[in-house]
Amino acid sequence: MATDKKPSRAEVESAIKTLIRWTGDDPSRDGLKDTPGRVARAYQEFFKGYNDDPEAILKKTFEEIEGYDEMIVLRGIRFESHCEHHMAPIVGRAWVAYIPKGRVVGISKLARVVDAFAKRLQIQEKMTAQIANTVDAVLRPDGVGVVIKAEHHCMTTRGVHKHGTDMVTSRMLGVFRDNAMTRQEFLAMVTDDLERGS
């Protein structure tokens, strides 16, 4: 992460005004005069993941699980991110699975981990690995599986303009990597969701 001093709000709004001028428009006209402030606030929301600690999100776990040791899958977690190459939106869904070893985490925490990484400048491959690696490092389960399917606006709304194209990435750890039946059980759930358009 950058170690430079964080720019002030005034500096950010000034930069946005410069971008507006660069497009050929006038940032002082009525329709645009409040835009720099709105864009700055939007960017605070888009990139709020830099303020989150994904490992801390997963720290509170529950051990009273009556020996439950089967797969847990949170399916179709919608997220919005931005690619680090063009700052264009990445919109998609994530499937996060793990096989617990004595403790589980609240399901909302898995969704929050996805958001913590999505709300940063990203590439999908790295985000997929970050989610899986964090769940694995904190929960120490028997295995973790993560699949992400997303549309990248850097290639659908600019560049090659390939509308309707999406990318799928996966990261399998532990038994999801080593046991073909476990991996297939998880991927069958993902495939079923994708075929139904989830």
Identify the H or E element spanning 95.
Answer: strand 89-99
Contact at 8 Å (CB) between 170 and 131? no
**Spatial separation of the C-alpha atoms in residues 183 and 188, rounded to whole Å:** 9
Identify the H or E element spanning 83.
Answer: strand 72-83
Annotated catalytic, 130? no
Q: Which of 151, 153, 154, 185 is catalytic?
A: 154
| Both structure tokens of 100 | 């617990």
Annotated catalytic, 151? no
Q: Which of 11, 44, 85, 125 is catalytic?
A: 85
Q: Which of 84, 151, 153, 185 is catalytic?
A: 84
Annotated catalytic, 154? yes
Annotated catalytic, 124? yes
Annotated catalytic, 85? yes
| Both structure tokens of 154 | 């850097």
Q: Which of 13, 82, 83, 122 is catalytic?
A: 83
Q: Which of 82, 122, 124, 130 is catalytic?
A: 124
Contact at 8 Å (CB) between 70 and 189? no
Q: Which of 86, 151, 153, 185 is catalytic?
A: 86
| Both structure tokens of 178 | 């080593």
Q: Which of 82, 122, 130, 152 is catalytic?
A: 152
CA count, 13 A, side-chain hemisphere, 86: 11
Residues with a known catalytic role: 83-86, 124, 152, 154
